[in-house]
Amino acid sequence: MNCRWLGCATALLLLNACATQDHALYHWGAYQDTLYEGFRVENGNTSPEKQLQQLQQEQQKAASHGKALPPGFQAHMGYLFFQTGQSDQAVVAFENEKKQFPESSVYMDFVIGKLKKP
């Protein structure tokens, strides 16, 4: 009897998990955890290179699931490109954020303007 209940509960949980996934507007994966790792002050935070790698993996997963990238994702990639000395890539990422989310235009233009200043 107990086992049966456990089975039912597990099935419900699984169903629930599937339902949540389908209703989400965006692919999240480890995006927020990457942000958190980047913020961490103790034990030396995760390097921008490592964060960039993680986000590139998430980008591929999002594409393969046919899900949109969340707000700020491409801008954050741009910020990591900038931190790792890849300014051209950074500008491309900021432009992509703008294309996906026109709401970001003022801020992205501000950032791109700063990057392009000699």
Partner 1 sequence: MKLQLLTQVSKTAVWLALVILVGCAAPSQPDQSAFRNSRPTSILVLPPVNQSTDIRGSLSFLATVTQPLSEAGYYVFPVAMVEATFKENGLPLPDQIHEAPLSKLQSIFGADAVLYITLEKYGSSYVVLDSQTVVTAQARLVDARTGTVLWQARASASDAEGRDNNNGLVGVLLTSVIHQLASNIGNPGYRLSKLTSARLLTPHSGGMLYGPRSPNHGKD
Q: Which residues bind partner 1 (CB under 8 A)?
A: 24-26, 28, 31-33, 35-36, 38-42, 70-73, 75-76, 78-79, 97, 101, 103-107, 110-111
In the complex, least distance from residue 15 CB atom to partner 1, rounded to whole angstroms: 19
81 closest CA partner among 69, 71, 91: 91
* Alpha helices, H only, the chain: 2-23, 31-39, 48-65, 73-83, 87-100, 105-116
Are the C-beta atoms of residues 43 and 35 closer than 8 Å to each other? no
Smallest separation, CB 72 to partner 1 (Å): 3
The encoded tokens of residue 94 equal: 């900021």
**Given the complex with partner 1, which of 71 and 84 has the nearer CB atom?**
71
Q: Closest by alpha carbon to 34, among 1, 100, 79?
A: 79
- Which residue, 3 or 41, has its beta carbon nearer to partner 1? 41
Complex with partner 1: residue 62 or 75, whichever CB lies closer: 75
Least Å from the CB of residue 5 to partner 1: 16
By beta-carbon proximity to partner 1, the closer residue of 15 and 103 is 103
Instruction: Give CA separation, 116 vs 23, 46, 79, 91, 109, in Å.
Output: 39, 27, 14, 9, 10
- The minimum distance between CB 74 and partner 1, in angstroms, equals 9
